[in-house]
Amino acid sequence: MTNKINITLSTTKKEKPASNQLEFGRVFTDHMFVMDYSSSKGWYDPRIVPYEPITLSPSSMVFHYGQTVFEGLKAYRTKDDKVLLFRPDKNFQRLNLSNDRLCIPQIDEEFLIDALKQLVSIDKDWIPTAEGTSLYIRPFIIPTEYYLGVAPSKFYRFMIILSPVGSYYKEGIHPVKIFVENQYIRAVEGGTGKAKTGGNYASSLKAQDEAEKRGYSQVLWLDGVEKKYIEEVGSMNIFFKINGEIVTPSLNGSILEGVTRNSILQILNHWGVPVSERRLSMEEVYQAYKDGLLEEAFGSGTAAVISPIGEFFYKEEKMLINNGETGELSKKLYDTLTGIQTGVYEDVFNWVVEVK
């Protein structure tokens, strides 16, 4: 693969939305990064081009067999107008893990970081400035072979698109209510749970929809084998503070290896907070709640960073956590992570990467 990225700049500039009108994932910048793959050429023709539609035959594999992977990360503008990426190496590392599970060819991770930096640099005026806003980055791969056989595609397209996004918490960080799912399963060991692939999200929609109808904003996923052990919450990893200790489910093959999850574990270790990665049943959490030892619970992910949980609905019972308010540790982790991401806090972990 040649590392030379061809750049074609857009001749027109789209109007940028006002900072207070930003939604998630609806508006996209002027450019995108594109690269193709064929069995004979490998990954080829890396290019930055004006944001434009994709045209594919109806027989293109992407419309039929779900062989897709994606990533999500963000670029932040600091108070002194620097542009920072948060741990992009972890995202592209995970992209290759997803690729491996989905039979998609590996991509040079260093090259992708370089490509991303060039793209963000070109569209840097799109990074919003208001507090809590950022530029959401969506790398993704689709199979493009025109063939209805069930087999790995011989052709792929890798793309990165950028979307300015508003603050996840329009009125400040606040807790959500979670329905403990007892019917649907997100993933199981031996499946695709740890890969960031479309099918995992498609399969989650129905449970999410039914939870919303009951007045809950997300579901808590239990394991697919015994429906006892906690896996994720919505599309986030999950943490509990039980009797002073932080507990999160260990990575078991069906849980996504969240970059935010990994960062939280490092921060907690740095702070000297006791933390345990292990198998954790919902019954154990319920018992801790009954014993008055369940102090906090929160989800973690790129979009919300930290999403405090104020209530679980489990076995026809409402479990109120920390009086339905954001816990002290949840808030401190949120401030620390967003502080590092936006250059307000010192980056002691060497996580942020500046886009020059």
* Nearest to 135, CA basis, from 116, 162, 160, 114: 162
Q: Which stretch binds its own copies (CB under 8 A): 3-11, 65-73, 313-321, 345-353?
A: 65-73
**Please, what is the minimum distance in Å from the beta carbon of residue 331 to its own copies?**
25
Which residues inside 199-228 make contact with its own copies, applying CB under 8 A?
199-206, 208-209, 224-225, 227
- State yes or no: residue 56 binds its own copies (CB under 8 A): yes
Q: Which of residues 106-125 bind its own copies (CB under 8 A)?
A: none
50 contacts its own copies (rule: CB under 8 A): no
Find the binder of its own copies among 50, 66, 105, 324 (CB under 8 A): 66
Nearer to its own copies, 203 or 262 (CB): 203
Residue with tokens 């329905």: 179
Q: Is 241 left (phi over 0), alpha (psi -120 to 50) or beta?
A: beta
The number of beta carbons lying within 10 Å of the beta carbon of residue 37 is 23
Q: Tell me how far, at minimum, the Cβ of 263 lies from its own copies, in Å.
A: 21
Q: Judging by DSSP bridges, how do beta strands 176-180 and 305-314 pair with one another? A: parallel
The yes or no reply on residue 324 touching its own copies (CB under 8 A) is no
Of these, 133, 134, 197, 263, which contacts its own copies (CB under 8 A)? 197
CB of 153 to its own copies, least distance (A): 9
Position 307 contacts its own copies (CB under 8 A): no
**286 lies in the site for its own copies, by CB under 8 A:** no
Contact call for residue 62 and its own copies (CB under 8 A): yes
Q: How far is the C-alpha of 127 from the C-alpha of 23, rounded, in Å?
A: 13
292 touching its own copies, by CB under 8 A:
no
Is residue 130 a contact partner of residue 38, using CB atoms and an 8 Å limit? no
Nearest approach in angstroms of CB 246 to its own copies is: 26
Judged by CB under 8 A, the stretch of 75-83, 180-188, 255-263, 269-277 that binds its own copies is 180-188
Length of the chain: 356
Q: Which one of 62-70, 263-271, 308-316, 336-344 is the stretch in contact with its own copies (CB under 8 A)?
A: 62-70
Stretch in the footprint of its own copies (CB under 8 A) among 182-190, 243-251, 273-281, 347-355: 182-190
Quick check: helix, strand or coil at residue 163? Answer: strand
CB nearer to its own copies: give 208 or 248: 208
Q: Is 189 in the site for its own copies (CB under 8 A)?
A: yes
Residue 126 has what DSSP assignment?
G
Q: Is 148 in the site for its own copies (CB under 8 A)?
A: yes
Burial class for 331, CB neighbours closer than 10 Å (0-12, 13-18, 19+): middle
E strands within 208-344?
A: 218-222, 230-233, 237-242, 245-249, 275-278, 294-301, 305-314, 317-320
Name the β-bridge partners of 353.
85
Strand 6-7 relative to strand 42-50, pairing: parallel
Q: Classify residue 232 as left (phi > 0), alpha (psi -120 to 50) or beta.
A: beta
- Of 16, 47, 82, 101, which lies in the binding site for its own copies, with binding defined by CB under 8 A? 101
Any contact of residue 155 with its own copies (CB under 8 A)? no
Q: Rounded to 5 degrees, what angle do the CA atoms 41, 42, 45 make?
A: 75
Chain centroid, CA 294 distance in Å? 26
- Residues within the interface to its own copies (CB under 8 A): 24-26, 28, 32, 51, 53-60, 62-68, 70, 101-103, 136, 138, 140, 142, 146-152, 159, 161, 163, 183-192, 197-206, 208-209, 224-225, 227, 234-235
